Amino acid sequence: MNRASTGLAVLTGAALLLAGCSDGGDSSAGLSVSGAYIPQPVSADMAAGYLVISNSGSSKDELTSVTSDEGEVTMHTTDGGAMEQVSRLPVPAHGQLVFKSGANHLMFDKLKRTPKEGRTVTVELHFATSDPVVVKMPVKSATYVPKTGH
Ligand SMILES: [Cu+2]
């Protein structure tokens, strides 16, 4: 209970912050991406990636695929320690789709170049209704922990 309510408070804070810098207000989904990063992986050709997709609009959308010139990208959820590949994830209206360590994550496979700290990996997010969004994901240290805003 406590953990859940803390998480919600953090998400709400982040959403308000982002809503403040976007136009918003229309009836379509208004998507923006924040906090994207890839922890420098131990493996040469596999890596995990995290980001937050915020929707300031009043329509829900769905992330349907993630692509990259650098290799294969799949979307995974984590449920009770076991991860599962999924083909789409919801982006709720006035809400967020959060990829973070221990939960939803992007999985990179068959990478052409090993992600090294300081580099970026460019991915393209594809949605059910919104236009694709290109994200440059910076590679951080293996132990990097993002600030959650509180
Ligand atoms: Cu995974």
Q: Give the C-alpha separation, 7 to 3, whole Å.
A: 6
CA torsion angle for 50, 86, 2, 15 (degrees, to 10)?
50
pTM (two decimals) = 0.79
Between the CA of 22 and the centroid of ligand 1 the distance, in Å, is 31
Q: Give the C-alpha separation, 146 to 140, whole Å.
A: 10
105: amino acid identity, one letter? H
Q: Across residues 13-19, what is the average pLDDT?
A: 46
Q: Across residues 29-52, what is the average pLDDT?
A: 94
| Residue 3 placed within a domain | no
Between the CA of 73 and the centroid of ligand 1 the distance, in Å, is 10
Q: Across residues 97-120, what is the average pLDDT?
A: 96
pLDDT score, position 17: 47
Q: Is the pLDDT of residue 105 over 50?
A: yes
Between the CA of 25 and the centroid of ligand 1 the distance, in Å, is 35
pLDDT score, position 142: 94
Kindly state the helix (H) or strand (E) to which residue 52 belongs, with its residue range.
Answer: strand 47-55
| Residue 150 placed within a domain | no
| Residue 69 placed within a domain | yes
| Residue 146 placed within a domain | no
Q: Whole domain around residue 37: which residue ranges?
A: 27-140
Between the CA of 48 and the centroid of ligand 1 the distance, in Å, is 7
How confident is residue 25, by pLDDT bands cut at 50, 70 and 90?
A: very low
User: Looking up tokens 């090294």, which residue turns up?
Assistant: 116
| Residue 74 placed within a domain | yes
| Residue 92 placed within a domain | yes
Between the CA of 24 and the centroid of ligand 1 the distance, in Å, is 32
Distances (CA, A) of 42 to 37, 39, 116, 120: 15, 9, 10, 16
Between the CA of 27 and the centroid of ligand 1 the distance, in Å, is 34
| Higher pLDDT, residue 17 or 70 | 70
Q: Please state, for a pLDDT cut of 70, what percent of the chain lies above it.
A: 79
Between the CA of 102 and the centroid of ligand 1 the distance, in Å, is 9
pLDDT score, position 28: 65
Kindly state the helix (H) or strand (E) to which residue 38 belongs, with its residue range.
Answer: strand 31-39
Beta-carbon neighbours within 5 Å of ion ligand 1: 76, 83, 107
CATH code assigned at 115: 2.60.40.1890
| Residue 22 placed within a domain | no
Between the CA of 5 and the centroid of ligand 1 the distance, in Å, is 26
How many structural domains is the chain composed of? 1
Residues 6 or more apart in contact with residue 19 via CB below 8 angstroms:
54, 56
Q: Give the C-alpha separation, 150 to 101, whole Å.
A: 18
Q: Is the pLDDT of residue 11 over 70?
A: no
